[in-house]
Structure 1
Amino acid sequence: MMIKYMHDHYLDKYEWFMRADDDVYIKGEKLEEFLRSLNSSKPLYLGQTGLGNIEELGKLGLEPGENFCMGGPGMIFSREVLRRMVPHIGECLQEMYTTHEDVEVGRCVRRFGGTQCVWSYEMQQLFHENYEHNRKGYIQDLHNSKIHTAITLHPNKRPAYQYRLHNYILSRKISELRYRTIQLHRESALMSKLSNSEVNKEDQQLGVMPSFNHLQPHERDEVIEWEFLTGKFLFSVMENQPPRQSLSSVLRAALDDTVMQVMEMINENSRSRGRLIDFKEIQYGYRRVDPLHGVEYILDLLLLYKRHKGRKVTVPVRRHAYLQQLFSKPFFKEAEELDIRSLLENTHTDAQSFSFVSNTLKILSSSFQGTKDIGGRSDKKIHILVPLTGRFDIFSRFMDNFEKTCLIPRQNQIHHKRLHQKNVLFRLGCSIIFVEFLRFDVIQIFTGEGTTKVLYASSGDGTL
């Protein structure tokens, strides 16, 4: 009756009509793009083709070659299908062979609409039904190329699952937009070179083309070691790290996203070529992080080659992928502000605090108002990450430079930035607040309007 209502009230106002369950996620923009490529004046009945599960085969009243569109991922009707079918919907309601709505709708469309659900391999990708083993009422594995290519995703039985999926889709869109900005910076830098004009500073930094030759060390200490990895373990020669460890959740998610992007590039023209390549597993690989440019991977991938045109073939293949994931423009957000005076009081009362921390806070608290007005106010936030474990000399040099640049009056100006393999050092003008030592190797400096925070840590044994 819902289909009849759409026919009676909206047939002349819309070209396409969709029936879907309430636990399906629909990408509206992608659905519009897909439907605009089709002719709604033709009788088209779209969705994921179904024949019934194993227990129901032969019991749904389907003749050989007949099918239906599964109701979960959604059924889409062109205007012409509704125009042909709905006048006879009463007959369909009186001649039902099963209790499955989607089966009976497909039977009615086939009988009076003159068509049936499209036999197409692509429909299985566009209208995604979760077939995970022991599925729990939601799509558990989101780091999957199928999630990205699908138009509808089913099922997500609870609102929290829908929000989780929506959050992931939005994060993917953000990544795509940031990648697009990198491409534009590259194009701008290239056009500047071709026109013999000065390259914009931001284009020069973000428009660097991918290459494994960016890093050219002159000394042994400047060489960045590669880490060896498998599908489960990471083997490293880095200091203060076990030689073998399980892949962390962060690294595993990064690898999943990287592999997913690789598979999307490989399958970009899969429809015209009549083949699809699926990812199976990572046999082994190498990884390293260049602080100036990005993350580099060398991966040995086990893939499945599937040909769905002509003679169907499924063959396992192995391919090497040489990848570089460049850093884009950083964005930071300050979660909360700290009160410098209350922090100073807490530092004095804590017997475990270090003397240079207390002395620095005294200097800052007395000069806080003066340094805030020098050079005008700034809303910019700058984060500084400096490894500390076993690097006391580096930290001392950092503090000396920071004192000369930030703490001496009349020098509250931004000077320059220097990045090195072992440490990241920003010389900048700001007011600074020190907090107590925490047990992790990160320094974060947040500069905002009138307040700057530093969060720094020891190696866990009280040494820097």
Structure 2
Amino acid sequence: MLLVRNDRLMDMIYLRVDKKEVVTHEMSKGRPGFALLFFLIGTTIGLFSTWCLWSTPSLAVLTACPAPQIHEKEKGFVLIGIMTAAKYVDTRAYNVWRTWAQHVPGKVLFFVAENTTSIHSDIPLVRLKGVDDSYPPQKKSFAMVKWMADNYMDSFSWFLRADDDLYIKGESLERLLRGLDASRSHAIGQAGLGNSAEYGLLALGQSDNYCMGGPGVVLSRETMRKVSPHLQYCLEHLLTGHEDVELGRCIRKHVGVACTWNYEMQTLFHNNQSTSNDAYTGSLDEVKAAITLHPIKNPSVMRRVHSHVRMTKLKELREKRAILISEMSLTPSISLKRNEPSTLQDMPIFSFIDNNRIIFCSDGVNCPRHTLEQRTRGEMGRIVTQLFDDFNANARQRGRVLQFQNLQYGYERIIPKYGVDYIMDMILWFKKFRPPHRTTLSVRRHAYVQQSFSPLTRISENSIRSKLYGEKANASDHIHLILPLKGRSGVFARFATHLRNTCMRSNRISLVVVLYSSDDEDETRKKMDEISSFMNVKIVEMRDEPFSRGIALTRGSSHLPDDSLLFLTDVDMLISCDALRRIQLNTIYKAQVFFPIVFSEFSPDSWSENDRLLADSFHYGRRRGYFRHFGYGLAAMYKGDLHSIGGFNTSITGWGMEDVDLFEKAVKSPSHRVIRSPEPGLVHIYHPIHCDPSMPIAQLAMCQGSKAASLSSIDSLVQSLNHLS
């Protein structure tokens, strides 16, 4: 059934084509001329329904489409219209479509100018005829609202006008709107009166306001019904250049309602006041209470916020599941004695947390204290939030509220079989707000929290990667080792010989040598010819260019496609085939990069006699070496990910710093996760380090620190001091 509205004929024509028979409205019965006329008109309108006209003498066209196919019986809760421009339709808009737009209780449409195209065929675009991307977008905004009213008035209860830099939490939006009556006039959003420079200059009455367009404007079906006939008039009588101000003025004049005057709307329809580039790049605490978040102009930040929202939802579902399982199985109450160690070594030890900043590892020889990891900091923040949500669940009835002030100190321990235990000493505000006993006190309380691990489940490797990352989980079966090299032909011979002996049967590795000119270059090339018989070897010539590891790794990777798995390595490394397998498993295209923690040998002069007798380098005694937690030189990632996180800083020359810079970029990347873990299959053979005094101060300090740390173990130092005493 095709339903076409013709405003000039003021009649509804129903057409059904079945075996070449046309059935028209009753008014055409017995009048073949009218039947033919209506058939021709209906067919013409159907064929050209791409252009949906609503015109006036003073304005050529206010709204037109091609619209997505409209089904007469299509129903939904909320219709969200998003304004975007041609330069953002394949970036911001498409990221909206692939993230939160898939989780709303209704329909999402993207409104663009007349001639806008997209490389993505799945994004639902509505092209507005006669509308361009000029700014300010009053015409586009009014045309979008008019189009939604004309095409979906009776299909949705609520309508939301949004921009392409808005994030919407669909479930939170539904919870808010389910408690309201869409048959009454509502305009919901964050009320505005203009900024300090514009206050009093927007022609607003004393009781007038407008819903700020950035955080989104929600209109009920009744509001849309009343305002839609007047949108053309309002567009022709603008008083300012702000489309959200003018839409609010139009609603106030013709519907009789203003935007919601409610302080809470600043939290629910949240507008981040920082600069647009910094919004939502740091802490995401403001996400929890919000329904909409604005502005998010960077697509990677949009994905970061969406990942945070979905992970929060997953965490809530897991907590509910754990509670249900606990209630069904009658699990005993929480106890700090859930682990019964059989030996002293099995006893889990608490780490001490000082004021949420420094953690003291009581069982760590080489790390008496260090800054609190982001994992622990974020988890403790979530625990505190959950605790106070539970405390204040019935705050209104009890007439009191608890507010978190700060963390004095805490303890944390991980029991691999069971979960994580926390003990937190907190300072909080105790407020009684019910008269006549109003008071505010600062009190100190302890909280004992247990997070339990879910039961172990056996699942295939490919299955879990596919569930977590979808198409991103397609792991490459080939690894490209990128090796910068200048001189050191003997060390390269050791590297190549070991690689050949341990991985001779593997056909899934290639070696890309970025070669600088040196005195022993001929010997290096001979060794490359030898190993080329069992693996693909490619030489990238750098000749007499100044040595720069960042430039070399960038140049070496530039010859490979984006979906190539890279392992950025060093000539002093010994690599096992097991390590290459774990590199492959821990690296995920467009999702995860891997910075392995390598075992770094001390100077052999400090080794024990037993260590000197061992010919195999894959031994991990405390006197022999240490896992270099502060080293980031070795990294595994796909070539496309190396580029997307920012690549190497090619202005850094000499020793070090380029790896730290790349690691910091990876950590800050909102679209990638960084994995670090000790890798026993990667051993760094000791060699003397020369620190050029002409290095920049920070680079020189890092070089000297690495040189000192690699000379000998603490055990060797203690033994030397004992001999001196």
Work out whether the TM-score is over 0.5. yes
Unaligned runs of 5+ in 2: 1-141, 463-474, 480-497, 505-530, 532-571, 578-598, 600-616, 621-625, 630-677, 685-709, 714-725
Q: Counterparts of 1:113-262 in structure 2 under 5 Å?
A: 113-132=255-274, 134-136=275-277, 138-144=279-285, 146-190=286-330, 209-216=333-340, 223-229=347-353, 230-262=355-387
1:8 partnered with 2:164: no
| Match of residue 112 from structure 1 | 254
Change (3 A) 1:240 1:327: same
| Match of residue 395 from structure 1 | none
Unaligned runs of 5+ in 1: 191-206, 359-387, 389-434, 443-453
Q: After superposing the two structures, state which structure 1 stretch, 302-311 or 92-101, moved more.
A: 302-311
Answer whether contact 2:159 2:220 (CA < 8 A) is retained.
Answer: yes
Name the CA distance, whole Å, in 2 between partners of 1:117 and 1:308: 29
| Match of residue 452 from structure 2 | 326
| Match of residue 295 from structure 1 | 420
Name the CA distance, whole Å, in 2 between partners of 1:20 and 1:111: 22
Shift of 1:247: 1.3
Change (3 A) 1:328 1:441: farther
Aligned-residue Cα RMSD (Å) equals 4.6
Name the CA distance, whole Å, in 2 between partners of 1:142 and 1:124: 18
Shift of 1:114: 1.9
Change (3 A) 1:103 1:352: closer
Answer whether contact 1:127 1:151 (CA < 8 A) is retained.
Answer: yes
Name the CA distance, whole Å, in 1 between partners of 2:341 and 2:191: 57
Letter in 2 for 1:174: L
Name the CA distance, whole Å, in 1 between partners of 2:400 and 2:276: 28
* Greater relative CO (CA pairs within 8 A, separation 6+): 1
Letter in 2 for 1:140: T
Change (3 A) 1:274 1:123: farther
Deviations 1:154-192 (A, max 9, x none): 1110222212222222222332333333223223312xx
Shift of 1:118: 1.6
Q: After superposing the two structures, state which structure 1 stretch, 2-11 or 259-268, moved more.
A: 259-268
Name the CA distance, whole Å, in 2 between partners of 1:47 and 1:313: 34
Answer whether contact 1:440 1:458 (CA < 8 A) is retained.
Answer: no
Answer whether contact 2:168 2:292 (CA < 8 A) is retained.
Answer: yes
Answer whether contact 1:85 1:109 (CA < 8 A) is retained.
Answer: yes
Deviations 1:416-439 (A, max 9, x none): xxxxxxxxxxxxxxxxxxx95686
Answer whether contact 1:66 1:116 (CA < 8 A) is retained.
Answer: yes
| Match of residue 48 from structure 1 | 190
Answer whether contact 1:137 1:157 (CA < 8 A) is retained.
Answer: no
Change (3 A) 1:321 1:111: farther
Q: Counterparts of 1:354-433 in structure 2 under 5 Å?
A: none
SS of 1:53's equivalent in the other structure is coil
Name the CA distance, whole Å, in 2 between partners of 1:43 and 1:171: 36
| Match of residue 346 from structure 1 | 502
Q: Indicate the percent of aligned positions where both proteins have the same amino acid.
A: 37
Name the CA distance, whole Å, in 1 between partners of 2:424 and 2:273: 28
Shift of 1:353: 8.6
Change (3 A) 1:7 1:314: farther
Answer whether contact 2:358 2:369 (CA < 8 A) is retained.
Answer: yes
Rg larger for: 2
Shift of 1:91: 4.2
Name the CA distance, whole Å, in 1 between partners of 2:204 and 2:165: 27
Answer whether contact 1:41 1:78 (CA < 8 A) is retained.
Answer: yes
SS of 1:214's equivalent in the other structure is coil
1:17 partnered with 2:159: yes
Q: Which of the numbers 165, 175, 180 marks the counterpart of 1:38?
A: 180
Name the CA distance, whole Å, in 2 between partners of 1:308 and 1:288: 38
Answer whether contact 1:437 1:458 (CA < 8 A) is retained.
Answer: no
Change (3 A) 1:347 1:77: closer
Answer whether contact 1:186 1:209 (CA < 8 A) is retained.
Answer: no
Change (3 A) 1:110 1:273: farther
Answer whether contact 1:26 1:152 (CA < 8 A) is retained.
Answer: yes
Name the CA distance, whole Å, in 2 between partners of 1:225 and 1:49: 53
Name the CA distance, whole Å, in 2 between partners of 1:76 and 1:158: 24
Shift of 1:304: 6.3
Q: Which of the numbers 197, 216, 219 marks the counterpart of 1:77?
A: 219
Shift of 1:458: 9.7
Structure in which a larger fraction of residues adopt strand: 2
SS of 1:210's equivalent in the other structure is coil
Answer whether contact 2:407 2:425 (CA < 8 A) is retained.
Answer: yes
Letter in 1 for 2:407: I
Answer whether contact 2:360 2:370 (CA < 8 A) is retained.
Answer: yes
Name the CA distance, whole Å, in 2 between partners of 1:215 and 1:10: 60
TM, length-normalised to structure 1: 0.63
Change (3 A) 1:353 1:11: closer
Letter in 2 for 1:346: T
TM, length-normalised to structure 2: 0.42
Shift of 1:313: 10
Name the CA distance, whole Å, in 1 between partners of 2:404 and 2:387: 9
Name the CA distance, whole Å, in 2 between partners of 1:92 and 1:346: 77
Name the CA distance, whole Å, in 1 between partners of 2:319 and 2:433: 32
